[in-house]
Each structure stands twice: as C-alpha cells, then as structure tokens.
C-alpha cells in the first residue's frame, strides 16, 4: 500500500512554463493503473463496428467503483446505473443485453433511448444530478453540433458537483475540444485463449490509449477483464516500452479537481 506521507505536487512550479515543461511535468505524474479512483468525467473513443467502447467503459467504471468501495463500508451497492444512448448509437452497436452484462449490474440498469443528441445530453445531465445513481454511461455517435465544449463542460461540472461519475462513449467520433478529465482511445485486441477451449475467444481484451489526462502521463495499455478485475499490461508494440520504467506510480493519483482550480 502506498504511503500517504508521499504526496505529489499538485500545482506546477512557477518557473517551468511552456509545452516542453508540461511534458516534463507529465512524466513526474503517477502512471495510470487499474484500481485508482476515477475522475468525474471520462471519454472513451471507439469505432462503431465493435462494442469495445461500452465494454471498456463498463470495465473502468466497475474498477473505479471497486476502488471507491475498498475505503468505504463493505455493503452491497444497490444504486442504479443509467445508460443513455442516442438513436444513432443504437443503430450502430445495438442495445445493452441483460444476459451479457456483468452479473452485479444486471438488475441495476436503467436504459434511456434518446431520439436526438440534444435529448441524450439532457438525459445525461439529469442523471448526473441524481444522487441515487452509481454512475452514468453515455453513448453518442459522431460529433453532433450539440456536444460542443460548453455542453461537455456542463457535464463535467454537474458530475463533479454531485459526485456521480460519467463515462461517455464516443462512437466514430473525432476527438474535438472537450473538458473530460481522461480521454481514452480504444480498439479491440485479440483475446487470450479461453481456459477450457483454446480455439474459443477468451476474456475481453482491448488496446487502450490514454491520450489526454489531467493527473496521469499519456500511455498505452493492453487491458483485459476476466470478470472480476481489470488487468493491465504493456502492449507489445508500444513506443514507450524502453522509454520509462514500468512502475513509476509511487504516489496516489490526484483527480477530481475542479476546472476552476487550475
């Protein structure tokens, strides 16, 4: 377990400025790893011909819930989860299927099918304002005009104010300006062979690239979810493979800071 006395610098030193300094600073931040508390607003970019976006968002959300539950009292979480899709997202990747969801989430899902991206954003914001939700998962296809920086910042502020994390899956979208605290790019990865049948697909696996984060350096991981926990490994073709030592996460992550604090 990490020692609480070791603390990362929350504010940058005043002397260093500029892009190079920011890059330098980022290398001193703790590397992301599973089991850390999640920021209030994350985005996952995925292509529309696979369910990797929703799969990774669910895996990350469950991982964050587990991390948050470790410190709190050990009791069953009965809060609901809100899954909002706009119509284009439903057409691209279908609706959630109860029998394929993780078992502890099956009876807790409330699904919202919005006709337009505007309605989806309204539903997301209403969900973030609700204190009885565990987290909100959104799926929006493309780059709709309604989802600009203002809308994204509204979502971030609502999520931070009420403490309900938002995982927004962007299908077939360009990473435009956004106020999300962590932004992931995900693609499906070949899975490890299943335990009992070497020819069968195994546990879900993804290549995930963290390309923007407030509290972690950028990086790539090969993630896999075996149903209980999220496991991370260095991808085989990573450019950073020789650049940095693997375990640099000596301090606890600092996240969830308000936008105004920067």
Would you say 48 and 77 are in contact if contact means Cβ atoms under 8 Å apart? no
How many CB atoms lie under 10 A from the CB of residue 114? 21
Which residue, among 262, 227, 53, has the nearest Cα to 141 in the 3D structure? 53
231 binds another protein (CB under 8 A): no
Torsion-angle region of residue 235: left (phi > 0), alpha (psi -120 to 50) or beta? beta
Which one of 30-38, 166-174, 196-204, 241-249 is the stretch in contact with another protein (CB under 8 A)? 196-204
CB of 119 to another protein, least distance (A): 6
Which one of residues 30, 39, 96, 217 is an interface residue with another protein (CB under 8 A)? 96
Identify residues 56-85 at the interface with another protein (CB under 8 A): 56, 58-59, 80
141 binds another protein (CB under 8 A): no
Which one of residues 64, 188, 208, 213 is an interface residue with another protein (CB under 8 A)? 188
How many CB atoms lie under 10 A from the CB of residue 198? 8
Residue with tokens 């009992």: 196
Residue with tokens 């069968």: 200
Q: How far is Cα of residue 149 from the mean position of the Cα atoms in its chain?
A: 18
Interacting residues with another protein (CB under 8 A): 49-52, 54-56, 58-59, 80, 90-91, 93-101, 107, 109-115, 119, 122-123, 126-127, 129-133, 161-162, 164, 187-191, 193-194, 197, 199-201, 204-205, 225
């Amino acid at each position: 377990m990490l020692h609480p006395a070791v603390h990362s610098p929350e504010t940058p030193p005043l002397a260093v400025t500029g892009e190079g300094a920011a890059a330098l600073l980022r290398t001193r931040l703790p590397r992301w790893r599973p089991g850390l508390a999640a920021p209030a607003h994350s985005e996952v970019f995925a292509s529309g011909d696979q369910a990797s976006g929703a799969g990774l968002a669910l895996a990350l959300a469950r991982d964050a819930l587990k991390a948050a539950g470790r410190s709190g009292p050990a009791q069953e979480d009965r809060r609901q989860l809100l899954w909002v899709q706009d119509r284009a997202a439903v057409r691209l990747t279908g609706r959630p299927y109860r029998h394929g969801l993780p078992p502890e989430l099956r009876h807790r899902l409330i699904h919202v099918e919005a006709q337009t991206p505007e309605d989806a954003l309204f539903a997301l914001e209403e969900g973030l304002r609700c204190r009885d939700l565990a987290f909100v998962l959104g799926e929006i296809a493309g780059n709709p005009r309604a989802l600009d920086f203002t809308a994204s910042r509204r979502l971030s502020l609502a999520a931070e104010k009420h403490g309900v994390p938002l995982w927004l899956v962007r299908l077939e979208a360009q990473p435009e300006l956004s106020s999300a605290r962590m932004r992931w790019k995900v693609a499906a990865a070949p899975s490890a062979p299943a335990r009992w049948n070497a020819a069968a697909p195994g546990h879900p696996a993804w290549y995930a690239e963290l390309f923007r984060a407030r509290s972690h350096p950028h990086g790539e991981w090969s993630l896999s979810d075996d149903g209980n926990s999220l496991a991370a490994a260095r991808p085989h073709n990573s450019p950073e493979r020789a650049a940095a030592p693997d375990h640099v996460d000596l301090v606890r992550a600092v996240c969830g800071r308000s936008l105004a604090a920067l």
